[in-house]
Structure 1
Amino acid sequence: MEISPQQINSEIARRAGVELFVLRLDCLHPLVNGNKWFKLKYNLLEAKQQNLTTLLTFGGAYSNHIFATAAAANLFGFRSIGVIRGEERLPLNPTLSFATKQGMQLVYLDRATYRQRHTQELQADLRQRFGEVFIIPEGGSNLNGVRGCMEILKKTKIFDTICLACGTGTTLAGIALSQHQGQRVIGFPVLKNGAFLAEEIDSLITNYLASGLPVLNTTPAAWELICDYHFGGYAKVNDELRYFCKEFEAAHDVPLDYVYTAKMFYGVMDLIQKGFFNQGDTDGKLRSRLLLIHTGGLQGNALRSMPI
């Protein structure tokens, strides 16, 4: 399954000497789209190899990962269990309602217990409760997820800079491992105080290179985080961001999700105007080629829409 980048004809970018492209991963599949397709691919394959028929994963009440895992489990013949952070709230929101319609069993953990989701003790308790399950971390953030994300973009020198939104850093790790030295990958954390993700990303890359799993690059592309465009924190949205999404879609026919991609696109366009990327000559000569990765999640917009 492959999608080619499409160019965004932006006068703002052209004046700054930037040629802008977007990779529309949201178009991959109607239900399992964006980076979730890639994060889940090798997790599902490993579950099949282990002859396990039930997937268990974690997420918040509005999690794109829960949405995609429920759909993928249903498509590929798995049972699924979603461990949800916080208390049950009825009626279910659209994300959790969709998950249950796909056959996912929902289990709720209080926030203090949920913070222990990575521990062997809690995972052992869940296995005792539900039997032999294949556990996928929140957001698909493991080496299988990194391996899948290495397949998002073929190794290419066409783009100087690749930009994407970051929740766990797994997608950025996979992109960095799939590209050349001399390129740079910029992640835009959607969490407040998202600089902590640098340690997570570094750990994912280091552990992947030491794992013996297939590699494209033993030296990943340079990467960095820009933490100034979270709009107040995870899933925080204001009218300015909604207006930007409306205007961007009207101008370029590219819908953006409020939680992830919109914040990254907003940040990139703001940085272009501030001269962060290479400046063009006065005749508009292009100096830099940027690729923005649309990681999906559009179904979440219905939960946060308000009239502008």
Structure 2
Amino acid sequence: MRLYIKRDDLIHPVISGNKWRKLKYALVEARQKGVTEIISFGGGYSNHLHALGYCCNKLGIQFMALVRGNYRATPTPMLKDLADWQAQIVYLDKATYQLRSQTDFIAKWQAAHPHALIIPEGGSQTQALAGVAELLNEQTQHFSHIVLPVGSGGTLAGLIAAASTNAADTRLIGIAVLKGQDYLEQQVSALLPQHSFDNWLIDHDFHFGGYAKRNQGLLAFCSTFYQQTQVPIEPVYSGKAAWALKQRLADGYFPPGSQILLLHTGGLQGARTQ
């Protein structure tokens, strides 16, 4: 048995990992169409908003971040970066934020900003699949299993579609980072072409109580992991995926001879203090 880590956190110091891959073709199309404003959604530590805010600043596109919760009194490092990049930040209460994927809610924002491109939370949309597929195409060896964190489903969906063509016997194991059994499966399936795939599953045993929830054990694990490997991980995404993999290895889940790839999807906003 062999274990590998794909360091997608090293793509770029700001727009690392799956955030760049999911945004790439949406931004290419935005440039081609002359889009002057982009609107998207996320939490106070969102890797997606951070990456998109940076890209919009570099491309000269106005960015509006619709943020879950009110951080006016205590802005996070991510939100301070957005402000430095001239993003417009709008804070939404929890009840309003829950409407973010509903047609009427999107239509309201589109009507108020008729020339804006609205990108879903996490960048998870059909355009993201091609960018994520490039991740798998970069690999020069075969893996029996790929393990990765799952938050909005776009990265897993892209890998499922790509693997069905290029690595049909590779098993994709998503580690849920939030409470979302059935919901996450529906999110992934909605992004896939209209036929079924049987090369994936989502493990819901390691979300630690919900999105961004953690305990001292997980925090200590992230610290120890870095000390032993010099690979930085955080407790929101990569830390939960690494913890889950360690536990499943101890459980004997993987058959002898497995070639396992742990995908570090980048984004370390959850570990920042400044």
Q: Supply the AA of the counterpart residue of 2:204.
A: C
The Cα shift of 1:167 comes to 0.1
Deviations 1:170-209 (A, max 9, x none): 10011111122111000000002434211221221135x7
Give the aligned CA root-mean-square deviation in angstroms.
1.9
Equivalent in the alignment of 2:142: 158
CA distance in 2, matches of 1:112, 1:289: 43
1:189·1:229 contact (CA, 8 Å) conserved in 2? yes
1:195·1:225 contact (CA, 8 Å) conserved in 2? no
Equivalent in the alignment of 2:271: 301
1:95·1:300 contact (CA, 8 Å) conserved in 2? no
2:45·2:269 contact (CA, 8 Å) conserved in 1? no
2:130 is the alignment partner of 1:147: yes
* TM-score of the superposed pair, with normalisation by structure 2: 0.92
2:177·2:237 contact (CA, 8 Å) conserved in 1? yes
Choose the corresponding residue for 2:35, options 33, 52, 62. 52
Identity %: 38
1:84-233 correspondence to structure 2 within 5 Å: 84-154=67-137, 158-179=142-163, 180-206=167-193, 222-233=199-210
The Cα shift of 1:50 comes to 2.2
Give the gaps of 5 or more residues in structure 1.
1-17, 210-218, 280-286
2:237 is the alignment partner of 1:268: no
Q: Supply the AA of the counterpart residue of 2:260.
A: L
Give the gaps of 5 or more residues in structure 2.
none
Change (3 A) 1:192 1:120: closer
Equivalent in the alignment of 2:17: 34
Change (3 A) 1:156 1:198: farther
Equivalent in the alignment of 1:249: 226
2:57 is the alignment partner of 1:74: yes
SS of equivalent to 1:291: strand
Runs of 4+ with deviation above 4 angstroms = none
CA distance in 2, matches of 1:87, 1:69: 20
1:55·1:135 contact (CA, 8 Å) conserved in 2? yes
The Cα shift of 1:39 comes to 0.7
* TM-score of the superposed pair, with normalisation by structure 1: 0.82
Q: Supply the AA of the counterpart residue of 1:274.
A: D
Aligned length: 270
1:182·1:221 contact (CA, 8 Å) conserved in 2? no
Deviations 1:97-147 (A, max 9, x none): 111111210112222222222233222322333341011001001101122
CA distance in 1, matches of 2:206, 2:74: 32
1:84·1:106 contact (CA, 8 Å) conserved in 2? yes
CA distance in 2, matches of 1:25, 1:76: 22
Change (3 A) 1:198 1:156: farther
CA distance in 2, matches of 1:89, 1:200: 31
Report which of the two structures shows the higher radius of gyration computed on alpha carbons.
1
